[in-house]
Structure 1
Amino acid sequence: MSQERSGRATRRSFLTAVGATSVVAVAGCLGEEGPGNGEEIVVTQGEFAPNADPNADNATPTYNVLDQVYEPIFDITPDGDIEPHVVEAWEFPEDGIVELTVREDVVFHEGQEMTASDVAYTINRQVQEDVGIASPQVDGLAGILGAEAEDETTVTVEHEVSPSLAEFGLGVFGRVVNEEWVEEREQPVTDEMNGTGPYRVEEFNPGDETAVYTAFEDYWGDPPGVERVRFQAIDESSTRVGELQTGESDLIVNVPPTDVDTIDTEDGVEIRTVTSFRNIFLVMTNDGPPFDSLEFRQAMNHAVDSQGIIDTILGGFGQPMTQPVPEGIFGYDPELEPYEYDPDLAEELIEESGHEGEEITLYHPEGRYLNDTEIAETAAEQIDELDAVDCTSEIEPFDSLVEMILDGDPTTSPDFFLIGWGNPTYDSNYGLTPWFVEGQASYNFVDEEIEEMIEESQTIEDEDEREEALQEINAELREAAPWVFLHLQESIYGVRDDLEWEPRSDESIYVDRMGL
């Protein structure tokens, strides 16, 4: 929420000060009434939510649409600190157990009181397929085994990871649903919402890619400053820019760098940017040739000019990737350098690999990431300029691409594709486990030694030791080259200039924290 809470602790200071068996208890407080000015805020993204179920999809645009209605167990601040939310206190009474105390004043939009049973059900329907849905959010809940309501306000959660990983997983992915209400409906829930958040849904039209919300009068926290909210999706960036310029949208995402100066010089609108936690990269699935060859994968990294793409296609907005996670994430190794653009070395490595004459296709979405089509086409053209390889690019609708790559089976994924991966947990584990540990939804690269290193790191409780282990893993993966490491995406927003709002590195958009 927008209010400050007492007892804030950074992730490091919290773990150092209290250890794994101490209690965290900070009372959430009701703040002053917001301005309630009656105006409508219109937010325009490139993608929408495929359905109305907050536990059924794992994509930032989906979360932004649904997070106005559904709330997480904990709150993650822009600095990556954990704060109480619908769970007001938690403790680790013994190894492998976290005990949650839920608020008693939280109600769902249809009038049901939120109880510990709802919180436990929310966790179980994501991590246990026989309870609810096969949720792709299980990637972020790796190591969470299940939950049980002990009474009306107490939930025990069983886990097999370090306390910090359990906290961040629950905080980021525990959007609470009403057990009875969900069980009465076909799952995933497609077109209805019943959350506890500051807004309740008035209209939800996935086909038209629009949603309208109004402030929830019985919300337990601070009333939102804006009474009415509209989210919509427009995949064409020039149309989004036009919406901002004509006043039809108040906030738009992924402004093309070529439009930045134009927007910044117009009256009533401005550009706001932040370096995001989203890496953009080209996945090379190693279940068969040619990407089962280390030399071939490294050759692809030397064949693509990542800095050149940043300078030209992105107008200087972005930073080259050096490893699977971005700077600012726990476990990032600052000593690693980007792959050097060296087509001659790429040719030599392809010859060493024995895969000369390969024909490969790079699949990519259109409109999901900043200038994604131009980036993919340029990367494919640079690879195609090599004498030893023919490469073309092909558009694959984002929903279709995600369906292929998020089934946990490398054999069903395209061999070569562009994707982006954000990190809302502020921890390397979420940049590693989903992609490199068998059984996770995004698993697309088989390396048993690296997989073992990742799993061992999850159980390390000493944070200095775990940070060193994660840095070693990131260094190993840079060498293994599972991806063509491209760049860290800069989030470029076009914003109505009197809108009180600052962009977050995790790309989350919470309208209740805005003001006019």
Structure 2
Amino acid sequence: MRRTLALLATTMLSFGTPALADDTLDVVAQFEIQSPEPSTSGYIFTRMGVAETLVDAEPDGRLVPALATEWSTSEDGLAWTFALRDGVSFHDGSPMTAEAVANALTIAQAKPGPLAKTPVTGIAAEDGAVVLTLSEPFAALPAYLAHYSAQILAPAAYGADGAGVEVIGTGPYRITELSPPLSLKAEAFDDYWGEAPHVPGVSYNAVSRVETRALMAELGDADFVFGLDPASVARLGNSDAVTVHSVAIPRTLMLKVNAADPALADLDARRALSLAIDRAGIAKAVLRYPEGATQLFPPSVGDWHDEALEPLAYDPEAARGLLAGLGWEAGPDGILTRDGERFALTLTTYPDRPELPLVAAVLEQQFRDIGVELTIDTTNSSEITSRHADGSLDLGLIARNFALIPNPIGTVLSDYAPTGDWGAMGWENAEIVDLARSVGRGDGGDAERARTAEILQTELPVIPIAWYRQTLAVADGVEGTVIDPWERTFGLQKLTIPE
């Protein structure tokens, strides 16, 4: 406790002013600001209301105009025209022209990210519009342009090589101080094209330790606090200093499985691991959620959630039977062996989301109950993708977001068609590739989505555990809080604070 209080004191000294002072609202979360580069840190800039995209999304996932007022496609689906909003200025005073928008999108497409994976072959400025040409129809394109990496920045925001060097956006707040990796400060932008924000100033601070974030909320040293562990949420729920908000979001806590590992290559092995997981127990006792996941896609992703799917079950005895059928036998210590090899796996996870190490500890016990030895490696989240790339990952415990692109097809295409860094590993399915591409083009519908969900439920290239809820602690007196389930915005523009 003494160490935690010392950390808190250090944090408070570094942040300076207390919560709600100087008409500034302070946001705290666990995510560091790597640089002014949109492809790596753009999600902070869009959530803080600094940068905007052509397309936005309502809480129900419906796409709506943002910097583009409307969009249309040619009859053959190979050209999309986005009409641009008039009278928009960048934070440096320069106008948002079609040429500036085309420049930002061209730079974004050249970098790793969703736009680079689309069939866009050309981006051109026209009178009051930008036109994107494609090599094949792609109905999901507007949703891809809502991704934070496609945010529209002024030409001066980029270096000669296209790297982001300054965040010059169009949002209701303009940055006054950017100090990677920990903080930024911003003030209301007087020439904003939309509704003026009510709070004159906002700040963001990255705080890695969940205990520190929770104490800051409890003691009134931050106004908006994200990334809280279940125990802190329960404690803060009884506090008069904050109000805890929670909403279901399109994110799933799941095990990423290396299906190329000899111990996991057989489907019955993956089924055994799934049957060993007490999802209801983890949801209620560890996460304080009402229920565990019954399939990969949560109800919050609408058309992708299939009520007709047989739900994932908890049956340790059946799991033992499946493993015995694969030739595994219990050794003296209860751990299974086959051909002289122990059934031993390393589970890699990360503390950015504080619930993940807690769930990992429970999985260690539940897997041992069926004879599987689990070693937990809690490290940087980047190790998941790194170990995917070099083939050394056994299991990854991750929180996969189906809302990065406000159409789940974006994540499905990235993770399974073909497999990607955060999706399946050592597993391929030609049918799911065809299904996902059909949905992406726009000629696939409910039947294709349902079949995709069925394949993932049957083959288990990833093993769902729980559906997420976004939880936020808000300082007493802050009004107008609305949690965006698509995690695109903190909604700071709508907030009011005590005078």
Whether the TM-score (by the shorter chain) exceeds 0.5 is yes
Is 1:384–2:359 an aligned residue pair?
no
Residue 490 of structure 1 aligns with which residue?
Answer: 469
Is the alpha carbon distance of 1:122 and 1:215 closer, same or farther for their aligned partners in structure 2, counting shifts above 3 Å? same
Q: Give the distance between the partners of 1:262 and 1:282, measured in 2 at CA.
A: 28
- What is the correspondence of 1:131-150 to structure 2 with a 5 Å cutoff? 133=111, 135-138=112-115, 142-150=117-125
Is the alpha carbon distance of 1:245 and 1:57 closer, same or farther for their aligned partners in structure 2, counting shifts above 3 Å? closer
Residue 117 of structure 1 aligns with which residue?
Answer: 99
Deviates most, 224-233 or 324-333: 324-333
Is 1:404–2:386 an aligned residue pair?
yes
Match for 1:336 among 299, 305, 309? 309
Does the 8 Å CA contact 1:56/1:188 hold for their aligned counterparts?
A: no
Q: Give the distance between the partners of 1:413 and 1:73, measured in 2 at CA.
A: 39
Deviates most, 266-275 or 350-359: 350-359
Cα distance, 1:321 vs. partner? Answer: 2.1
Cα distance, 1:124 vs. partner? Answer: 2.9
Amino acid in the other structure paired with 1:69 = V
Cα deviations across residues 74-97 of structure 1 (Å, max 9, x unaligned)? 121112222211111211122222
Residue 11 of structure 1 aligns with which residue?
Answer: none
- What is the correspondence of 1:135-214 to structure 2 with a 5 Å cutoff? 135-138=112-115, 142-159=117-134, 164-173=139-148, 174-179=150-155, 181-184=157-160, 188-189=163-164, 192-207=166-181, 209-214=182-187
Is 1:502–2:459 an aligned residue pair?
no
Cα distance, 1:485 vs. partner? Answer: 1.1
Task: Classify the secondary structure of the residue corresponding to 1:113.
Answer: coil
Task: Classify the secondary structure of the residue corresponding to 1:427.
Answer: coil
Does the 8 Å CA contact 2:249/2:300 hold for their aligned counterparts?
A: no
Residue 53 of structure 1 aligns with which residue?
Answer: 37
Q: Give the distance between the partners of 1:233 and 1:436, measured in 2 at CA.
A: 32
Residue 243 of structure 2 aligns with which residue?
Answer: 270
Amino-acid identity (%): 20
Does the 8 Å CA contact 1:274/1:491 hold for their aligned counterparts?
A: yes
Cα deviations across residues 377-423 of structure 1 (Å, max 9, x unaligned)? 21122112322x2211111112x325526xxx654462211111122
Cα deviations across residues 269-326 of structure 1 (Å, max 9, x unaligned)? 21111111111111002233222221111111111211111111112x2532233322
- What is the correspondence of 1:22-37 to structure 2 with a 5 Å cutoff? none
Residue 449 of structure 2 aligns with which residue?
Answer: 470
- What is the correspondence of 1:296-375 to structure 2 with a 5 Å cutoff? 296-315=269-288, 317-329=289-301, 330-354=303-327, 356=338, 357-366=342-351, 368-375=352-359
Q: Give the distance between the partners of 2:134 and 2:384, measured in 1 at CA.
A: 28
Is 1:75–2:50 an aligned residue pair?
no
Cα distance, 1:158 vs. partner? Answer: 2.5
Is the alpha carbon distance of 1:375 and 1:418 closer, same or farther for their aligned partners in structure 2, counting shifts above 3 Å? same
Amino acid in the other structure paired with 2:197 = P
Q: Which runs of 5+ in 1 are unaligned?
A: 1-35
Residue 4 of structure 1 aligns with which residue?
Answer: none
Q: Give the distance between the partners of 1:492 and 1:218, measured in 2 at CA.
A: 33
Task: Classify the secondary structure of the residue corresponding to 2:304.
Answer: coil
Task: Classify the secondary structure of the residue corresponding to 2:375.
Answer: strand
Report the RMSD for the aligned CA atoms in angstroms.
2.6
Q: Give the distance between the partners of 1:276 and 1:72, measured in 2 at CA.
A: 21
Residue 290 of structure 1 aligns with which residue?
Answer: 263
Match for 1:395 among 356, 373, 378? 378
Residue 495 of structure 2 aligns with which residue?
Answer: 514
Cα deviations across residues 40-82 of structure 1 (Å, max 9, x unaligned)? 1111112223222223358xxx446765211011121112222
Task: Classify the secondary structure of the residue corresponding to 1:313.
Answer: helix
Q: Give the distance between the partners of 2:419 and 2:213, measured in 1 at CA.
A: 38
- Equivalenced residue count is 458
Q: Give the distance between the partners of 2:60 and 2:22, measured in 1 at CA.
A: 30
Amino acid in the other structure paired with 2:345 = I
Residue 14 of structure 2 aligns with which residue?
Answer: none
Is the alpha carbon distance of 1:353 and 1:309 closer, same or farther for their aligned partners in structure 2, counting shifts above 3 Å? same
TM-score, with structure 1 as normaliser: 0.82
Q: Give the distance between the partners of 2:63 and 2:56, measured in 1 at CA.
A: 6
- What is the correspondence of 1:452-471 to structure 2 with a 5 Å cutoff? 452-461=434-443, 466-471=445-450
Is 1:105–2:87 an aligned residue pair?
yes
